[in-house]
Structure 1
């Protein structure tokens, strides 16, 4: 590539990368590209404009280690759908699924048996289900994982979806509020956040779920978020079951209509 062409291309990439950096949450720890064209590849990866060369993956669920381990996430479940290895130029939708407090720890197998990983077989998207090692989901670490996913797998940056249950439901709200540009739609289940902060996700498609008799996380956590979004004209759907206790996720992820709706959303 000639020097002039490289320079112009670098300017375009830097503009996109700087725009993304300005819109990320204040606790993001994703590395910032230097202001020179020698870091062209890093700028490309940061913007998600181009992914790496195609790498075949094992179909089904496997366990993967983060390439850039930091914070309280070191591994995740990767689900690869049928046809992934044959469609080498196709960019797949990807769903990031965040578990609840009960799956915190280092035994990744417990994540397989709860929520979306339990029912993901046969679904036409890539799934990433990280495991929180301790405490609470760290959004700065999730930002690092997000960048790794976009750069490493054949996924579409315009069709990245976020869902989570309980602790993961809270973080689904919080992460999307901090970085709304990352997600084409979100599905928070029995979670909540500060309803005063919903303006940033006014245009983000949301489908929330909760059970009215939840003894662990009050249903008002979701009701308040949904009502706040409705008040500003947000794009929000809400399913509230009268019974079921804290487990609102089994019904939610068994709803075929959820996936039809989810995969119809894009940036």
Structure 2
């Protein structure tokens, strides 16, 4: 009897502790980092090499390419690029003729790519073919589209005026040397940074070709720079491409 009473007494005073029900533990999601971007910058051979144009539909079939020494080590760098148009003497099918003329002759150490196409024999610089080259270069190399420059000598100087007037939006600055253009180009090029060079005693391309272009451009408000060497004959390019100030000025120009 006492045992039953004691048992009854204990059961009356016992308090049931609540059972804590915890929500199910969710697995912490595993964050998988995205794969690193693929290296889209193809390594190039530093220095000067001859390159065959992928698109062979134009008259330009190949070009000399200059790649700066640290191009492959700076894959995040967008490089300035200079298009160089040679003169009559380098036309033909031997691309090596372009290797040691004009800006290509002093390419070593320059902080930009140089593209020097070859014009076929008995032809002039063809704008359609130059545009094919331009499109391929923009897609193939790691270049800064806001710092694309154009220079050329003699026949190439005429080519500079023609190409830049036809497509002024493509170039940040131009350096035509001992060439000439059409005065009607002035309105198209009035905002283009231009530094023109010519020798006063040029027997091949009369200096009036540059003087007329400079006059026409200044008449529409252009800030064109013009350097006229008193002597030097047709060769106004050797001292121009050897002048460090030319490249300092050039690389300061951008769209």
Task: Work out the CA distance in 1 between the residues paired with 2:126 and 2:223.
Answer: 26
Q: Does 1:55 align with 2:42?
A: yes
Find the aligned partners of 2:175 and 2:233 in 1 and give their Cα distance. 18
Aligned partners of 1:192 and 1:84: how far apart in 2? 34
Q: RMSD value over aligned CA atoms?
A: 0.9
1:189 Cα deviation (Å)? 0.3
Secondary structure of 2:56's partner?
strand
Find the residue that maps to 2:226 and give its secondary structure.
strand
Aligned twin of 2:163:
175
Q: 1:217: how far off?
A: 0.2
Contact 2:201 2:207 in 1 (8 A): yes
Which structure is larger by alpha-carbon Rg, 1 or 2? Answer: 2
Q: Which residue of 1 aligns with 2:68?
A: 81
> Which of 71, 77, 83 is the equivalent residue of 1:90?
77
Q: Distance in 1 between matches of 2:239 and 2:56?
A: 33
Which residue pairs with 2:252 in the alignment? 264
- Using the size of structure 1 for normalisation, the TM-score is 0.80
Counterpart-to-counterpart distance in 2, 1:91 and 1:77:
20
Give 1:133 shift: 1.3
Listed as ranges, the gaps of 5+ residues in structure 1 are: 1-51
- The Cα shift of 1:198 comes to 1.3
Residue 235 of structure 1, aligned match among 190, 215, 223: 223
What secondary structure sits across from 1:244 in the alignment?
coil
**Which shows bigger deviation, 155-164 or 106-115?**
106-115
Report what 1:153 is aligned to.
141
Query: Which residue of 2 is the match for residue 130 of structure 1?
Result: 117
Give the equivalent residue in structure 2 for 1:21. Answer: none
Aligned-partner SS, 2:65 = strand
Structure 2 unaligned spans of 5+: 1-38
Aligned to 2:96: 109
Q: What are the Cα deviations for residues 24-44 of structure 1, in whole angstroms up to 9, with x where unaligned?
A: xxxxxxxxxxxxxxxxxxxxx
- Give the Cα separation in 2 of the matches to 1:172 and 1:69: 22
Alignment of structure 1 residues 176-255 onto 2, 5 Å: 176-255=164-243
1:64 equivalent in alignment to 2:51? yes
1:85 counterpart SS class? coil
| TM-aligned CA deviation for residue 82 of structure 1 | 1.5
Equivalent residue of 1:159, what SS? strand
Distance 1:189 1:70 in 2: 29
Match of 1:37 in 2: none
1:215 shift after superposition: 0.3
Larger helix percent: 1
Deviations 1:96-127 (A, max 9, x none): 00000000001111111210000111000000
> 1:231-254: CA deviations, max 9, x gaps?
111121001001100010001101
**By how many angstroms is 1:197 displaced?**
2.1
CA distance in 2, matches of 1:107, 1:70: 19
